[in-house]
Amino acid sequence: MAVELKDLTKRSENYSQWYNELVVKSDLAEQSAVRGCMVIKPYGYAIWEKMQQQLDRMFKETGHVNAYFPLLIPKSFLSREAEHVEGFAKECAVVTHYRLKNDPNGGGVVVDPEAKLEEELIIRPTSETIIWNTYKNWINSYRDLPILVNQWANVFRWEMRTRLFLRTAEFLWQEGHTAHATREEAEEEAVRMLNVYGDFAEKYMAVPVIKGVKSANERFAGALNTYTIEAMMQDGKALQSGTSHFLGQNFAKAFNVQFVNKDNQLEYVWATSWGVSTRLMGALIMTHSDDNGLVLPPHLAPIQVVIVPIYKSQEQLHQIDEKVAGIVARLKDLGISVKYDNADNKRPGFKFADYEVKGVPVRLVMGGRDLENNTIEVMRRDTLEKETRTCDGIEQYVKDLLEDIQANIYQKALNYRNARITSVDTYDEFKERIEEGGFILAHWDGTTETELRIKEETKATIRCIPFDTFLPGDKEPGKCMVTGKPSPCRVIFARSY
């Protein structure tokens, strides 16, 4: 399977098509035979595994443990929390039967009508209901709290328009579900996990994010507050990259989960839930990659360094093999994942293009002249800059270079984003600016009515009410750009994925 790089659409021509092609050409994922479901290919899954490992470590460092709850949820559970069912009913995959049988008319296998379930089961779109139905039996007293549980799982939402990683019917995610004795503790937990997500995005994915709280209209179905991290893609659109919800006592009330508090009184339990998914892969790809292919942050790249030999004879190859073996060993000693690709059925040019499209952060090339001179060519994927260096101490140089690349792509994404955050005061200006992409800070009167009108007229939504200040005066009160009613502070609008 040849990598036909020249076929990759340029970002400036068609950003959306560039993304779709890149995901496939870089061997991350592909559409499956099942509508809306993707196959995550080994190279894509290797990145996801690195994300999982790091997130899992961060969850455990903040006191969480993993558990596993059922894939299927009784239909009646979904209905218990009114807003929750409203939010998910229209995209539920429904199991109605539990057996197939041979078609009496000889047409292969058919669903056995006698094996119809009394109550239909839903493939989990999210697990609040089944988990809170379980917690009911785990919680009696304040001594049983907090419960700090996370689950790594697949979930299913029957989306009509799907795109690899960004929006798929089945996706992989983690969902944390915690139970607390007090409102304050639950609210702290929701913010703590948002911060974990923010740290992960910035330090590992090298994706700058804006942390904030969602407007009522954009809240998770059943939450009192939804916190979010919002990233800006290279087309200026927002990608919601992770959310953390303060659920209040809604699910505890729906599933009757009460506990005896320290004052010996019965009280409903306070809850949070929080999740990130394979959608992060989309954020990773769209933040850093370029017209040559993926650009992966070294902290998540499955292969951090690739070494390619250029040789004129088998004898020369053997000499290079020997020389490179030492470099490989020393790189591995430094904890760097390195691949030496001396396969002789592919030309160096093909390998260069392949690792470039796959976003390997550092490429080392050794040829005959290098062998003589004790040198090696170093290319960094982010800038495509090449230089020839001595092999002495190359491993420490590469280690430092990886950190440099990590910092550089973060800074580049941050500069890009910050340059595209603007502030507007009038709705007319807003309508003009929103066409250019980017995040717009504007005053809003706090009503869902106004929010929906803006969405209807401009396709922009409120991404969040940010915690931090991005432009001078953000946090000062003003007047809604649409209605002129009072507004306590500016909020961030953008078109989004």
Please classify residue 313 by burial: count the beta carbons closer than 10 Å to its beta carbon, then call 0-12 exposed, 13-18 middle and 19+ buried. exposed
In angstroms, rounded to a whole number, what is the distance separating the alpha carbons of residues 282 and 242?
A: 12
Cβ distance to its own copies smaller for residue 1 or 266 = 1
Which region, judged by CB under 8 A, interacts with its own copies, from 114-122, 194-202, 262-270, 406-414?
A: 114-122
Residue pair 197/274 in contact (Cβ under 8 Å)? The answer is yes
Q: Which is nearer to its own copies, 137 or 265 (CB)?
A: 137
Phi (first) and psi of residue 345, to 5 degrees:
-100, 5
The window from 34-42, 187-195, 202-210, 414-422 that contacts its own copies (CB under 8 A) reads 34-42
Q: Which of 4, 14, 63, 101 binds its own copies (CB under 8 A)?
A: 101
Binding pattern for the stretch 12-31 against its own copies, x by CB under 8 A and - elsewhere: ------------------x-
Question: Which residue in the set 37, 216, 414, 465 belongs to the binding site for its own copies (CB under 8 A)?
Answer: 37
Rounded to the nearest whole angstrom, what is the least distance from the CB of residue 443 to its own copies in the complex?
37
Q: Residue 414: name the closest of 287, 298, 229, 241 by CA.
A: 287
Contacts of residue 12, defined as CB under 8 A and 6 or more positions apart, other chains included, come to: none
Give the DSSP H/E element, type plus range, for residue 46.
Answer: helix 42-61
Q: Between residue 154 and residue 173, which ones bind its own copies under the rule CB under 8 A?
A: 154, 156, 158, 170, 172
Query: Minimum distance from CB of 249 to its own copies (Å)?
Result: 21
What is the rounded end-to-end Cα distance, in angstroms, of the chain?
31
**CB 149 within 8 Å of CB 256:** no
Binder to its own copies among 75, 279, 380, 399 (CB under 8 A)?
75
- Strand 29-31 and strand 109-111: the pairing is unpaired
Tokens for 77, please give them: 């559970």
- 256 scored as a contact of its own copies (CB under 8 A): no
* Span near its own copies by CB under 8 A; candidates 15-23, 38-46, 209-217, 242-250: 38-46
Kindly state whether residue 38 participates in binding its own copies, applying the rule CB under 8 A.
yes
**What does the block give as tokens for 88?**
């998910």
Q: Is 2 exposed, middle or buried (0-12, 13-18, 19+ CB in 10 A)?
A: exposed
Among 4, 49, 83, 403, binds its own copies (CB under 8 A): 49
Q: Which is nearer to its own copies, 15 or 355 (CB)?
A: 355
Task: Please count the other Cβ atoms lying within 10 Å of the Cβ belonging to residue 195.
Answer: 16
Q: Are 460 and 454 in contact (CB under 8 A)?
A: yes
Least spacing, CB of residue 83 vs its own copies, in Å: 13
Beta strands 266-268 and 258-260 are: antiparallel
Run of H or E residues at 310: none
Pair 333, 389: CB distance under 8 Å: no
Q: Return the bridge partners of 238, or none.
A: 232, 496
Rounded to a whole number of angstroms, the minimum distance from the CB of residue 143 to its own copies is 7
Shortest distance, position 324 Cβ to its own copies, whole Å:
21
Binding residues among 326-345 for its own copies as defined by CB under 8 A: 345
Q: 48: how many CB neighbours lie within 10 A of its CB?
A: 21
139, burial (CB in 10 Å: exposed 0-12, middle 13-18, buried 19+):
buried
Cβ count near 319 (within 10 Å): 17
Give the footprint of its own copies on residues 131-150 (CB under 8 A): 133-134, 137, 140, 143-144, 149
Tell me which of 15, 18, 19, 45 binds its own copies, using CB under 8 A. Answer: 45
Residue with smaller CB distance to its own copies, 130 or 285: 130
Residue 401 is encoded by which pair of tokens?
A: 């270079």
Contact pick of 3, 47, 121, 462 for its own copies (by CB under 8 A): 121
153 binds its own copies (CB under 8 A): yes
The distance of closest approach from Cβ of residue 39 to its own copies in the complex, given in angstroms and rounded to an integer, is 5
Look up residue 203 and give its amino acid: K
CB of residue 147 to its own copies, shortest distance in Å: 9
Kindly determine how many residues on this chain lie close enough to bind its own copies according to the rule CB under 8 A: 67
CB of 75 or CB of 211, closer to its own copies: 75
- Among 63, 100, 484, 486, the residue binding its own copies under the rule CB under 8 A is 100
Q: Which is nearer to its own copies, 78 or 286 (CB)?
A: 78
Among 391, 389, 373, smallest CA distance to 324 is for 391
Cα–Cα distance list, 69 to 189, 306, 391 (Å): 21, 40, 52
Residue with Cβ nearer its own copies (113 or 472): 113
For the bound state, the minimum distance from the C-beta of residue 473 to its own copies, rounded and expressed in Å, comes to 46
Which residue among 12, 102, 396, 415 contacts its own copies (CB under 8 A)? Answer: 102
Measured in whole angstroms, the distance separating CA 386 from the mean position of its chain's CA atoms is 31
List residues binding its own copies (CB under 8 A).
1, 30, 32-34, 37-42, 45-46, 48-49, 65-79, 85, 89-102, 108-109, 111, 120-123, 130, 133-134, 137, 140, 143-144, 149, 153-154, 156, 158, 170, 172, 345
